[in-house]
């Protein structure tokens, strides 16, 4: 089954500077020192405009309080000025923040967004979701469902409008968008090796998620390149509870370094280690992934991999608008960055001996 949520975006209703006549595109072009065609390209989010020209046009739009007439534009372009978004897994940090970027970029380009949330992930459910959006005459669709089932289900499906897909771990292509999550996992693992740890245990995400596969791959590649043994990963479910529940296996492994699939899993693990008398980072170093806003307030503050998911959402819209215009945008994968905080440190002098678990402290 699918559920629908409509999110309509519009531009602020600023009054024109001259009440006798609303400013026109030609006025914006004159003030910015460009052609009306260039103004149109900037307003429509066209990629082939320099940053300097884009800034001049945007400043002129603000100065003149220029506002387009969506109805007139729709008639002229035979477009509905609406983009569809099919989502799954919005409880997770990455997809939810990417959706914010999609909505913001669509609004800035003068589009509304029509959202369909997937509950089931099969070919029939996806076909119904896409059909619903095409019945609403959207101009293009973003598939924000980063799981294997969604990617497999959409393969071979015909859509009457352009479609771009969020596909972590896949190589860059005009109809796809993603961060370089393999690189992010490599950065996390290499950091732990660089500060002296012999190997790194991975708390992986749940099976079936593209990010899980990409992060396992990056972790394994980093260990292989360093000639280190890769312990069997411990599966979790993206949640703090699953990280907490993994603590016995982490302690039993004797690992001095852990790369958690996301920050929430790392949070639960740190809580569990602390309750067993295992210190972070003195006994065990922990690295997360995502860098959600609370990560710097963990105790200790979490070393993690930062991904700009909002920028990914904006990239999705830019690619989709280019496809709508009959063009293509081929950008490299969005690079992640390592944020080093206080949850990682050199291994203990007795790193060959596993931490000895104690009886967990009673909660007050």
**Confidence check: pLDDT of 88 > 60:** yes
Say if residue 156's pLDDT is above 70: yes
Q: How far apart are CA 50 and CA 103, in angstroms?
A: 23
Is residue 278 situated within a structural domain?
yes
Angle, vertex CA 93, rays to CA 92 and CA 99, nearest 5: 95
CATH number at residue 57: 1.10.260.40
Structure tokens, 312 = 């990914």
Same domain assignment for residues 116 and 228? no
Shared domain check, 325 and 295: no
**What tokens were used for 119?**
């509950």
* Whether residues 30 and 88 fall in one domain: no
pLDDT-wise least confident of 145-149, 213-217, 301-305? 145-149
Same domain? For 172 and 186 the reply is no
The token pair at 309 is 């998911």
Lowest mean pLDDT among 43-57, 66-80, 158-172: 66-80
Do residue 246 and residue 320 come from a single domain? no
Paired residues of 143 in beta bridges = 86, 165
Mean local confidence (pLDDT), 178-205: 98
Residue 63, pLDDT > 50, answer yes
Going by the DSSP 8-state scheme, the letter that residue 84 receives in this structure is E
Report how many domains make up the chain: 3
Distance, in Å, from the CA atom of 188 to the CA atom of 193, rounded to the nearest integer, reads 9
The mean-pLDDT minimum among 13-22, 105-114, 181-190 falls in 13-22
How many Cα atoms sit within 13 Å of 285 on the Cβ side?
28
Residues in the chain, how many? 364
Answer for the pair 214, 181: CB distance below 8 angstroms, yes or no. yes
Question: Among candidates 170, 169, 186, which has minimal Cα distance to 221?
Answer: 186
| Stronger pLDDT, 363 or 25, i.e. the higher one | 25
Q: How confident is the model at residue 77 (pLDDT cuts 50, 70, 90)?
A: low
274 and 330 assigned to the same domain? no
**Based on the domain organization, do 117 and 170 belong to the same domain?**
yes
The domain that holds 173 is classified in CATH as: 3.40.50.2300
Residues 164 and 199 in one domain: no
Give the range of the structural domain holding residue 237, as residue numbers without chain letter. 181-307
Angle at 338 between CA 94 and CA 303, to 5 degrees: 85
198 DSSP 8-state letter: S
Question: Residue 118: inside a domain, yes or no?
Answer: yes
Q: Are residues 146 and 186 in the same domain?
A: no
Distance CA 246, CA 146 (A): 24
């Amino acid at each position: 089954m699918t559920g629908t949520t409509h999110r309509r975006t519009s531009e602020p209703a600023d009054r024109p500077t001259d009440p006798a006549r609303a400013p026109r595109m030609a006025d914006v072009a004159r003030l910015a020192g460009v052609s009306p065609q260039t103004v149109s390209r900037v307003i429509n989010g066209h990629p082939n405009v320099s940053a300097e020209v884009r800034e001049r046009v945007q400043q002129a739009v603000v100065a003149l309080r220029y506002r387009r007439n969506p109805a007139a534009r729709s008639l002229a372009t035979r477009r509905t000025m609406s983009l569809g978004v099919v989502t799954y897994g919005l409880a997770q940090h990455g997809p939810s923040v990417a959706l914010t970027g999609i909505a913001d970029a669509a609004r800035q380009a003068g589009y509304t967004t029509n959202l369909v949330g997937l509950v089931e992930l099969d070919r029939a459910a996806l076909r119904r979701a896409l059909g619903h959006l095409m019945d609403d005459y959207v101009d293009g669709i973003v598939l924000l469902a980063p799981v294997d089932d969604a990617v497999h289900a959409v393969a071979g499906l015909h859509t009457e409008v352009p479609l771009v897909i969020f596909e972590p771990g896949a190589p860059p292509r005009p109809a796809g968008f993603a961060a370089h999550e393999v690189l992010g996992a490599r950065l996390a693992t290499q950091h732990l090796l660089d500060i002296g740890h012999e190997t790194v245990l991975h708390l992986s995400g749940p099976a079936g998620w593209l990010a899980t596969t990409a992060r396992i791959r990056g972790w394994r590649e980093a260990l292989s390149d360093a000639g280190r043994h890769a312990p069997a990963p411990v599966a979790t479910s993206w949640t703090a509870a699953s990280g907490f529940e993994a603590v016995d296996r982490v302690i039993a492994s004797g690992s001095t370094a852990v790369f958690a699939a996301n920050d929430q899993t790392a949070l639960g693990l740190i809580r569990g280690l602390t309750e067993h008398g295992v210190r972070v980072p003195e006994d065990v170093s922990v690295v997360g992934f995502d860098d959600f806003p609370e990560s710097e307030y963990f105790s200790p503050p979490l070393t993690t991999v930062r991904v700009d998911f909002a920028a990914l959402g904006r990239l999705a819209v830019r690619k989709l608008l280019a496809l709508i215009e009959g063009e293509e945008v081929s950008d490299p994968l969005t690079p992640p960055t390592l944020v080093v905080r206080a949850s990682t440190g050199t291994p203990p002098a007795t790193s060959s001996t596993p931490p000895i678990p104690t009886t967990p402290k009673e909660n007050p």
